Amino acid sequence: MSRPRSIVRRAFTLIEMMIAMVVIAIMAVVVMPALAPEDAIKLVSASHMLASDLEYAQSASLSGPTDPIVVVFDADAPRYWLARASDPDSPIERPGSADAYLMEMGVGLARQLDGIEFEVANVSDNSIQYDAFGRLDQLDNAFVRIHNHTGEIFVSISASTGSVSVVKQSPPVVAPDPPADPISPLPESEPIVVKTR
């Protein structure tokens, strides 16, 4: 007597495969944001936010040259504000709002940017100020190093034009050439012979 054959299933059906793919896709959507390099993105966001605020300060200084805008960086906290040069300790109002033009990392409009730090170079009093022509009020370019535990980005402000650029590498700090010594002798060369008749 022969045994009845039983049907043996050796593979998944198309519907089972599609359900498994949907479950994997849903899990990926939930898990991927947690694996994203959020802190590196914070650096880029903070640098572009600062560049935008510097450009606004330049524009506002051009439109109100009698009392230009200054961008002041707090030496003790990761924050900066825009103020009038006549009162640098009081932030101006943000355009279209009664809120102070104060950007504190991890708070308010910058609440997603916690962990960001600023270091300002080539400026006095931790502030960047424009003149009536939109240039920096100093002869040297200014730099802001924005950093967190993942890396750093630099915002560079041109002294001659006031233009703002975001760069990945540290901008070169060019020291001025030392003044020429007016008493130093000319470089040695072959003697000049003058023949007379």
Which class is 38-167 in CATH?
alpha beta
Specify the pLDDT at position 186: 46
Is a pLDDT exceeding 80 seen at residue 173? Answer: no
pLDDT tens digits, 60-102: 999 988 999 999 999 899 999 999 999 999 999 988 888 999 9
So where are the chain's domains? 38-167
pLDDT tens digits, 30-48: 776 665 558 888 899 999 9
CA–CA separation, 35 and 55 (whole Å): 34
In order of 12, 77, 142, 170, the CA distances from 174 in angstroms are: 68, 28, 11, 12
Q: Exposed, middle or buried by CB within 10 Å (0-12, 13-18, 19+), for 16? A: exposed
